[in-house]
Amino acid sequence: MSKKHLLSVASISIEDFEKAKKGNDYMGDVFVIFKVVTNVQDFDNALRYGLRTSGVWHRYSEFDLLYQYLLHTYPSHIIPPLPEKKLSTSLWTKMTVDKFDGEYLEHRKIGLEKFLHRVASHPTLHDDNIFKAFLMKGEDWKEVADSTEFRAKNEGFLRGVAASYQLKHCDPRFSELRTYADELETRINAVLKVTQNVAAKQRLAYNSYKELAKTFSDWSTIEKSLCIPLQKIGHHLDNLEGAGNVLLLEEDVKFYENMREFANYAYSLKDFIRKYELLQYKIEVLEGTIEAKKAGLFLLGKPEAGEDVVAVEGGKNNLTKMFRATPQQKEARRSKLHQELSEAEEALGPAQNDLEQFIAEAEVEIKRWKQDKFSSLKDALRMYAKLQLQHSQQGAQCWEQSGLPSNLPVSNLWNFIKLKTFFKSLNDTLVVLLNISHSHE
């Protein structure tokens, strides 16, 4: 195909959300559905993909089903994260616990749309038939997904794996990636926490500008010569309050949400690494089984093995009777050990092949993810610097347009100009550093 991914032939967006109900008026299940709209732009390549313009409604649980399907079907790929089911923080305001709150749903819509864009731009995931069915079908797509029996693919082995396990040997590349995932989660969550604290203080300051504006306006009533400049200061402080709150809204959508996504990516990385660990653990279990069965056969072959004591239950009072192993019992044990040894050895080869294939595909996926992460974080940091720069410029303009006489002290204006210069320098520095980082990536 001449095109790299679905987003090059069609736009994918979540355009609306609304409440829906399943069941009767009294006992029905009330939930929210999101309208996923696909608009084909390149019809020739869209036909090759089997893609068409469509608008379908899905609830959050269906997005989660798609995520689980991708997670099980593509074990050697880093699956883009879904937004968390319960959103608890925002720069703009404290989130309500009401899952039908409009602001809460707007944040969820942004996160779900970003998830779809990540999948649609992935070199492998974008062409998955189940994903395309999700984009073009209503609830029918779930039947198509369930027909793949994706949940059963790894359940047999996973059912016997303890929640906590220790590997004897671990590929250092995956050990380093796990360390990075842990640190990424810690660092970005720290950025989110501090950014939220800063935004809360800024919000209080911006809201105080209205009160400050009123004090200047009140003062203007007793000053004939300074009446107009004082009124203009009050007017522009009002404007500054509005601009500050707009900044927080933009930071929330364009920066904070991006950082939150990469905090969630840390969990996706851990899921990805756990798949490697489980494949490696499976091999170690099989190797341990083979070693134990061989040791058992060795002991059975020793002359003193005939002196083994076997305990059975029976007798009048169900007491334990002791007697020495018979040749028939020894042969039965030997036969069983041979069978178990053969089964373990037969399973070891395919398990090793699975691990080798996983590592080969994972190396390509990790490289792709690092490049994508670099590009996304670079854009987010540049956007952050740009927003701060725009805000400092707006602040400076408010004072520049206030009409203050030239002989009045304008320390606030000077502070804004310094702030403007600082953020311009920050933006330029970020561009340089990010370009340098890219050259060493």
* Maximal C-alpha separation, the chain: 119
Give the integer Cα–Cα distance in Å for 428 and 30. 50
Give the integer Cα–Cα distance in Å for 180 and 159. 28
Residue 67 CB neighbours (<10 A): 17
Q: And the tokens for 350?
A: 């395919």
Contact (CB, 8 A) for 295 and 344 = no
| pLDDT score, position 298 | 87
Give the integer Cα–Cα distance in Å for 243 and 238. 9
Give the integer Cα–Cα distance in Å for 295 and 418. 77
The residue ranges of the chain whose pLDDT is under 50 are 1-2, 92, 94-96, 157, 305-306, 309-323, 406-411, 413-414, 436-441
Helix (H) or strand (E) holding 59: strand 54-59
Tell me how far the alpha carbon of residue 361 is from its chain's centroid: 20
| pLDDT score, position 345 | 95
Contact (CB, 8 A) for 170 and 255 = no
310-348, pLDDT tens digit by residue? 444 444 444 444 446 678 888 888 899 999 999 999 999
pTM for the predicted model, two decimal places: 0.78
Contact (CB, 8 A) for 36 and 59 = no
266-281, pLDDT tens digit by residue? 989 999 999 999 999 9
Phi, psi of 205 (to 5 degrees): -65, -45
148-175, pLDDT tens digit by residue? 888 776 555 455 555 557 889 999 999 9
Contact (CB, 8 A) for 344 and 286 = yes
Give the integer Cα–Cα distance in Å for 121 and 8. 8
